[in-house]
Structure 1
Amino acid sequence: MANEYVLVGTLKIVKILLNFVNQEVLPDLNINEDAFWSGAESIITELSPENRRLLNIRDCLQAQIDEWHRTHPGKYRDITEYKQFLYDIGYLSPRYNDENIQINTNNVDDEIAIQAAPQLVVPLMNARFTLNAANARWGSLYDALYGTDVISEDDGCERTNKYNKKRGEKVIAFTQKFLDQSIPLMNNASHADVIKYDIENGELKITLRDKNTTQLQYPNQFIGYQGEADRLNSILFVHHGLHIEIQIDLPGIKDILIESALTTIIDCEDSVAAVDAYDKVQVKKQLFEN
């Protein structure tokens, strides 16, 4: 769609954006059009030189880093020298040590203040992307391992059109080690030796092949369950703020579901989905309508 521009003061504004702001945004905010665009012009005029200066610094840094990699092709192992190079060009700054500096935050979500957790970012104007992102927060560990190169295809473990039992066995072995690391059991017991998970007096009871029972090394990792106490359908655990669900289909584990992200960010400025003024206006309209 061709963009038609309108000159407002010294600003050259796409007409569809101008009309949207003047006709749909400012009236509800009770802001005068002339005052708004005059203020916008003042801010843009003041900050544009600084913005250009910062962009030039970024371009200069990128050019120096590109040149460094051209003169050091291949896998570079001297990380200390490379890190010093980044300090020398100003890409990295020395850590500022001052015990008197304190930062306190209140009413901030854990995934921002405490956890460096993965986040999914999708454009607001594509509902399918948003739905896919919400669904992608959880995924099957079995599927992820079986279908990717995390599991080697050596020794008859190739990915084939039909189910490869040998590859499946490697997936299960990998998963059992993952559970031992993420949800460790008491006395170095292994999830590979578990024959049944039960709930007894509200606590998780784990029965091993030798008929002995054990418990979690960290009981607070157990969050909840589905099914009957002596015939569970699934058990939910937490590890570093992310959840792990063991799905059970007697006589064993059916699948392991992993929470891959805590949040889905609905982005209004996606550089792929919202490219030009028309796209961005449609995104902003959705925000105002919702």
Structure 2
Amino acid sequence: MNIQAAQHNLIDQSIYNFIKQVIPMTLSNGNTAIDQTNQTNNTMVYAKQILDQYFPLSVGSHQDVCSYVIYYNQLLAFFADGTQSGLEQPKQFVALTGHKCEPTSLVLKNNGFHVEISIDRRGVQGIEDLAGIDDVQVEAALMTIVNSEQAPNKRSWSSLVTGQAGCSGKQFTAKDGSDYQL
């Protein structure tokens, strides 16, 4: 097994273990057994830990970011004290939606594996988050391979915040201005 395959397996295992923990247990009366507010706070912390682990900033943590902007095709993260940092590996930022000064989503890539950070300061989670992050979705690589045989242009995505999974073709703008489709 090469290093890239081993890293994919490690990421997939980490994500799938997390999703199993996040999905609320349904009681016989149909109610969920997990406090949704506490769950969202914990899952957002976990999602940002994943970002710190696989998409680290040169300085600081995604936990402390107040806003993200694109400057000269590079992702910059701004902190409360006015300082900023780029990604430790700038090439990991590959695409966005929205305006470079106020992106609505960011796409990061690590060894062929994509993560989408959705930013919505009015969203359910975004209203509570310092940077306005509403969701962090990861490309479920194993499911993508299975689904691509059935629907070639569809990829599977799983939310690190809500635990929900979905399959969709997504359209973004690459950092060079061209189309970036997943």
After TM superposition, the score normalised by the length of structure 1 is 0.38
Give the number of the structure whose residues are more often strand, by fraction: 2
Check conservation: 1:185, 1:216, Cα contact below 8 A.
Answer: yes
- CA offset at residue 151 of structure 1? 8.6
Give the number of the structure whose residues are more often helix, by fraction: 1
Indicate the SS of the match to 1:186.
Answer: coil
CA distance in 1, matches of 2:114, 2:149: 19
1:186 paired residue among 58, 62, 65: 58
2:111 paired residue among 240, 245, 248: 240
Q: How does 1:2-151 map to 2 (within 5 A)?
A: 115-116=4-5, 145=18, 148-149=20-21
Check conservation: 2:22, 2:43, Cα contact below 8 A.
Answer: no
- CA offset at residue 152 of structure 1? 10
Residue of structure 1 in register with 2:89 after alignment: 218
Residue of structure 2 in register with 1:254 after alignment: 134
CA distance in 2, matches of 1:114, 1:183: 17
1:265 paired residue among 149, 156, 160: 149
Indicate the SS of the match to 2:39.
Answer: helix
Check conservation: 2:22, 2:39, Cα contact below 8 A.
Answer: no
Check conservation: 1:225, 1:235, Cα contact below 8 A.
Answer: yes
Check conservation: 1:223, 1:238, Cα contact below 8 A.
Answer: yes
Residue of structure 2 in register with 1:201 after alignment: 72
Structure with higher Rg: it is: 1
Indicate the SS of the match to 1:265.
Answer: helix
Identity within the alignment, %: 29
- CA offset at residue 171 of structure 1? 0.8
Equivalent residue letter for 2:94: I
Residue of structure 1 in register with 2:170 after alignment: none
After TM superposition, the score normalised by the length of structure 2 is 0.58
Post-superposition CA distance 1:28-51 (Å, at most 9, x none): xxxxxxxxxxxxxxxxxxxxxxxx
- CA offset at residue 240 of structure 1? 2.3
- CA offset at residue 163 of structure 1? 5.4
Count of residue pairs the alignment pairs up: 124
Structure 2: stretches of 5+ with no match in the other structure:
10-14, 26-30, 122-130, 151-182
CA distance in 2, matches of 1:151, 1:240: 27
Task: Kindly report the root-mean-square deviation, in angstroms, between the aligned alpha carbons of the 2 structures.
Answer: 3.2
- CA offset at residue 227 of structure 1? 0.4
- CA offset at residue 239 of structure 1? 1.2
Structure 1: stretches of 5+ with no match in the other structure:
1-112, 119-140, 154-158, 267-290
